[in-house]
Chain A
Amino acid sequence: MLKPAFNYISYIETTAEALWDALTSSEFTTRYWFDTSVISDWKVGSPVALVIRGLTTDVGEVLEADRPRRLAYTFHHILNERAMRERPSRVTFVLEPRDNIVKLTVTHEGFADDSVVFDGISKGWPAILSSLKSLLESGKPLVIPFDVLDIAELDETFHA
């Protein structure tokens, strides 16, 4: 693993297919991912874009897409001045079903030591993945204001 890296494990009562669809379909992502559409055709080599209310925040390229087991894409923030100068990072989702529960492991790595994107994603992923779990298990996502994440660098960008 390339350090610094962010690792997060969540156990979700769902199927691997439903979890895959929730990670890859904008219809779902807008509900739990701070209103973000995640747009791609999910073919290896295809572009990925994260779009919040018409504003593209991050772009990348699909590296792996093995439904419903493994998904990986590069991740390059393009809105914040400091963050856009950083090299792209890489996020990988591994889905492991067992009985009626899926173990989801998210690894986001490949950051420079002083990366502002690393700070942002480290605070963002637990909120996004918690809301995803709520949505799949109870039908209701969480209502978490973006401000509570306390991402200083990116807050300025979104409020500018």
Chain B
Amino acid sequence: MKTDPFKPTLVYTIYIASTPEKVWQALASAEFSQRYFFGNSVEVDLRIGGAYIVRTPDGALHISGEVIECEPDRKLTVTFNVNWPALVEKLGPTLVTYEIEPAGDAVRLTLTEAHDRPISDDILSGGRSGWPAILSSLKSLLETGQAMVIKMEPPKQMLAALKKLGIATP
């Protein structure tokens, strides 16, 4: 897949007192991800073209995608498509990149969400509120051993915008 047409809509950088290896493991492990990703589990086949799947706590398929770039402990790029009918057809694929860099005694983790066409701020608001919560919890888990229990309001603005486009949401 060509990533050139994808333009970043969100860049979130967080520094974590950890090692690149541990951050990589946290991003790619089902058991670990359940603890910081609102109970969702990431299942990823870590090779280019491998499947990238996120399941909700009840086991349902929430996000499906494919590994686009895979440099262990450094960079993981995946397509990250929420499994709601007509979503990809109407909005195109979502690309998510995690970059891991050493930063002194810490690690800099940079998340980038990108799209290949213009997406409204209303729709982007979902990721803009969700990613900081997920990555804040990931940082706490790696540093203190305890993930956060963050109660989030449903992303009303995003859900209303999707509904208007005829995309069915749960």
Interface residues of A (CB under 8 A from B): 7-13, 98-99, 101, 126-127, 130-131, 133-134, 137-138, 140, 142-145, 148
By the criterion of a CB under 8 Å from any partner CB, how many residues of chain B are at the interface?
Answer: 27
The secondary-structure label for the interface of chain A is mixed
Point out the residues of chain B lying under 8 angstroms from A101, CB to CB. Answer: 148-150
CB distance from A133 to the nearest CB of B (A): 7
Residues of B within 8 A of A127 (CB): 15, 103
- Contact among A11, A12, A143 with B105 in the assembled complex (CB-CB below 8 Å): A143
Interface residue from A10, A11, A144 paired with B106 (Cβ < 8 Å): A144
How many Å lie between the Cα of A130 and that of B140 in the bound state?
Answer: 10
Partner of A13, one of B12, B105, B132, B140: B140
Name the contact of B144 in the complex, choosing from A7, A9, A138 (C-beta under 8 A): A138
B103, A148: Cβ atoms under 8 Å?
yes
* Interfacial chain A residues near B137, Cβ < 8 Å: 11
A142 B136 Cβ-Cβ under 8 A: no
List chain B positions with a Cβ less than 8 A from chain A: 12-17, 101, 103-106, 108, 128-129, 132-133, 136-137, 139-140, 143-144, 146, 148-151
- On whether the beta carbons of B15 and A144 are closer than 8 Å, the reply is yes
Residue from B16, B104, B148 within 8 A of A11 (CB atoms):
B148
| A139, closest chain B residue (CB) | B144
- Chain A contacts of B143 at CB under 8 A? 134, 137-138
| A99, A131, A138, A142, most chain B CB atoms within 10 A | A142
- Contact A130–B139 (Cβ < 8 Å): yes
- Specify which chain B residues have a CB less than 8 angstroms from the CB of A99 in the assembled complex: 149, 151
- Residue from the list A13, A98, A138, A148 in contact with B108, Cβ < 8 A: A148
Are A11 and B103 in contact, CB atoms less than 8 angstroms apart? no
- In contact, B103 and A137 (Cβ under 8 angstroms): no
Q: Which residues of A contact B129 (CB under 8 A)?
A: 9
Q: Do A140 and B17 have beta carbons less than 8 Å apart? A: yes
Q: Could you tell me the distance between the alpha carbons of A7 and B129 in the complex, rounded to whole angstroms?
A: 11
Other A-B pairs beyond A101-B149, A101-B150, A142-B15, 19, CB < 8 Å: A8-B132, A9-B132, A10-B136, A11-B137, A11-B150, A13-B148, A98-B151, A99-B149, A130-B15, A133-B140, A137-B144, A138-B144, A140-B17, A142-B17, A142-B104, A142-B106, A143-B105, A144-B106, A148-B104
Contact A130 B14 (CB under 8 A): yes
Q: Which 5 A-B pairs have the closest CB atoms?
A: A130-B15, A9-B132, A11-B136, A126-B13, A143-B105
